[in-house]
Chain A
């Protein structure tokens, strides 16, 4: 069974090269099972640098726990600053994984098959990074669970159920649990393949334990597909609900610039925007380092870029709504916030945000730009920065200006703020590269299923020609 590089209708193919089931297994599994494929310098160099930042993270967290959150730049009124910016930024990045793995599965979009495993891993590590911030922001993370989770206690004290901060606890923990289960269930058939391919007995046993007795029988596949669809059904509402709840952390309060009805969909769009940018930011170098260009093709990059453009436009529309209704309201605090953003001491960050999220992503209108890898990568980098800036604009920039001018106070981050933020980036990259090293980055059986579908002409409109069979 082979798929030809030339597609129908002159489009880029979903699977490039002359592929067979065997060649797909070889290409993907060898990244895990063949040591020689990791002797290249980029993996070592990136993992090493990321590990340095993991150490910075550990030092930052250690000092934070020892000294307390006073080492951060947070103050009154900017009680939320880098910690919550980073929390929202990381949670948002995870959303692309859930959208790709769950929603695109339900929409029968088979192009997801090349990138879903990778994106799901990204979701899990991003949520881990996100969860660190509010947890350490409590000041005493070792007792935080007593404050955050509702449990019957002799004092009769319960969390405030009307507060979105408590909804957040449930949203994020559900999100992490469901994403992890979804990811692990999806890995089971591939663990079976790795077990069957392993040569050493110890490795065979290792993969056999993870495969949980997977034999690939008809009954196994039937149950697997049912479980996977149910998990996709559970995950789908999470794409909307998690970031909507995160947005409510701000929107339900009465801080000028926060009590804005459009926040939930605007946050969700921003999350998908940032998430797809991160998918491409990592997928582009990894496909180059490991020779996966036939599996993550220009067509995937083109579609991810289009989704990025669409969600970016929704985000930009959100900025316009904030400005227009900030003015339309005629309320002085709302107008003050807008003027503060435009002309205040943080104005450079606001205009940089507009450049990063509003102007530069418009390059993605051009099909040529969407197919020019350095341009796409640059835009993704800019969008990642832009989405971080957006949270800076929303959170400390709004908090530093209040109803009473006497309460206004500037916010400046400290080195420890940067230490913890860059540390989580290091942790994320470190975990992603460990994932690439030890687990199949691309879903092997779904790629084979796609190859089968394409080769049998069931999807004539997609751009892989079916020329032969095995």
Chain B
């Protein structure tokens, strides 16, 4: 039955995203880096835009990697259809690439981060207090060491999964679980440290214990939305048409619903505590985002990142239709851009929310190269794991 479907349906080619991404990414990334290093009047603006673009794609990469670890830990059947996409998005190539693309940020520490400005550190006791831990050498070292560990872990998981595809050896799955369960603990801790370095430290004084959890859940939502989008858009194409079922789209929809709910819960918790506490340093985060139009973006996110997908994903009809679910996923990805923009940009732009052309160039430049890495990693293996009996049962019943 499945062979008949496969023979008749057009073939999905996820890997074709790679060349398209390269075509867009290479020139735009070249422009971004060129402007940062060769055009002094554009340097600050471009470096800020580049950091925003890099943070978005790095977070998405970590979201994919985190979900891969989660899948191997709990072995939920919801993850099987998107596992190869998660492995590509959070795989060794994407992680190594994001480490490489951090290099332009290293050269721009001085224009981005207060802790890299010696004069500011000398005048600020809090920056001095942190200077042993948050300084150019330590941040750079931590970033590259963490990316190296994440990439090695991702490579090992992917190789193990591929080995099982070939040999059918069930012990590989157990090995991955044994590795991924403590791995996810390590992942959450290290992501918290990393985003504190990359994003939180853009503000010399502000801090939040929720920042790490927010950067675990938000990017995971984006990663799941991207992978679900790919599966749903190709729902009638081979080989995805063999695994599509009502229960699959429902499971993916429920998982998106849960992550979206956690995203809102974490954000609401942070907001209500800092607003009610009304202390200058913690509440400063919302002070900067409560004027010049940022409040409009915040309100927009509440309605369109949380409430609209919340009700959409509560609707059984939407979760039953790959096409409808694909629209929700596409919308969620757009909202993820906006959310990262809302978190990162006001840290250094005191004017209202205005999309600068440099933001678009950097986002597409880094994103294009990211898609190239994603496409090339997808090409290296079957589109979904063939080793898991549950997926095979779905294929047999298709």
Residues of chain A touching chain B, judged by Cβ–Cβ distance below 8 Å, are 162, 240, 244, 248, 251-254, 259-265, 313, 317-318, 320-322, 324-325, 328-331, 365
Chain A residues near B282 (CB-CB < 8 A): 259, 261
The residue on A at minimum CB distance from B261 is A240
- Which 4 pairs across A and B sit closest by C-beta, in order of nearness? A330-B126, A252-B276, A261-B210, A262-B209
* Contacts known (A261-B208, A329-B281, A331-B281); A162 close to B185, Cβ less than 8 A: no
Instruction: Say whether B192 faces chain A, with CB atoms less than 8 Å apart.
Output: yes
Interface string of B147-169 (1 = CB under 8 A from A): 00000000000000000000000
Q: How far is the CA of A252 from the CA of B189 in the complex (A)?
A: 25
Whether B196 pairs with A262 at a CB distance below 8 angstroms is: no
| Cα–Cα, bound, A163→B391 (Å) | 51
How far, in Å, is B331 (CB) from chain A's closest CB? 24
Most buried by B among A251, A324, A330: A330
Closest to B277 in A: A259
In the complex, the answer to whether A265 meets B129 with C-beta atoms within 8 Å is: no
Q: Are the CB atoms of A262 and B210 closer together than 8 Å? A: yes
What CA separation (Å) do A126 and B208 show in the bound complex? 32
Cα(A320)–Cα(B212), bound, Å: 12
**B277 & A252 in contact (Cβ 8 Å cutoff):** yes
Residues 261-300 of B, flagged 1 when their CB comes within 8 A of A and 0 if not, give: 0000110011011101111011000000000000000000
* Nearest opposing residue in chain A for B134, CB measure: A328
Contact indicator A260/B209 (Cβ below 8 Å): yes
Chain B 174-215, CB-CB to A under 8 Å as 1, else 0, gives 000000011001001100100010000000010111111100
Selected A-B contacts with CB under 8 Å, 6 pairs: A254-B278, A261-B211, A261-B282, A262-B213, A264-B265, A317-B188
A2 to chain B, nearest CB (A): 26
- Beta-carbon contact of B277 and A320 below 8 Å: no
Q: Which residue of A lies closest to B133 (CB)?
A: A328
- Residue pair A322, B277 in contact (C-beta under 8 Å): no
| A259 CA / B125 CA spacing, docked (Å) | 22
Most A CB contacts (10 A, CB to CB) among B188, B276, B281 go to B276
Could you say which of A263, A264, A330 contacts B130, with CB atoms under 8 Å apart?
A330
Are B277 and A263 in contact (CB-based, < 8 A)? no
Take A259-B273, A321-B209 as given contacts and tell me if A328 and B265 are in contact as well, using a CB distance cutoff of 8 Å. no
Q: Which residue of A lies closest to B73 (CB)?
A: A310
- Asked if A261 meets B212 with Cβ closer than 8 Å, knowing A321-B192, A330-B205, the reply is no
Please indicate the chain B residues that have their CB under 8 angstroms from the CB of A252 in the complex.
272-273, 276-277
Candidates B208, B265, B276; contact of A325 at CB < 8 Å? B208
- Whose C-beta in chain A lies nearest to the C-beta of B185? A313
Q: Indicate whether A248 sits within 8 Å of B213 (C-beta atoms), given known contacts A265-B266, A313-B185.
A: no
Q: A264 to B282: give the CA distance in the assembly, Å.
A: 16
A162 and B276 contact, CB distance less than 8 A: yes
Report Cα–Cα, A321/B213, bound state, in Å: 10
Residues of chain A lying within 8 A (CB to CB) of residue B182: 365
Q: Is the Cβ of B273 less than 8 Å from the Cβ of A240?
A: no
- Which residues of A lie under 8 Å from residue B130 when comparing CB positions? 328, 330
Output the nearest chain A residue to B188 by Cβ-Cβ distance.
A317
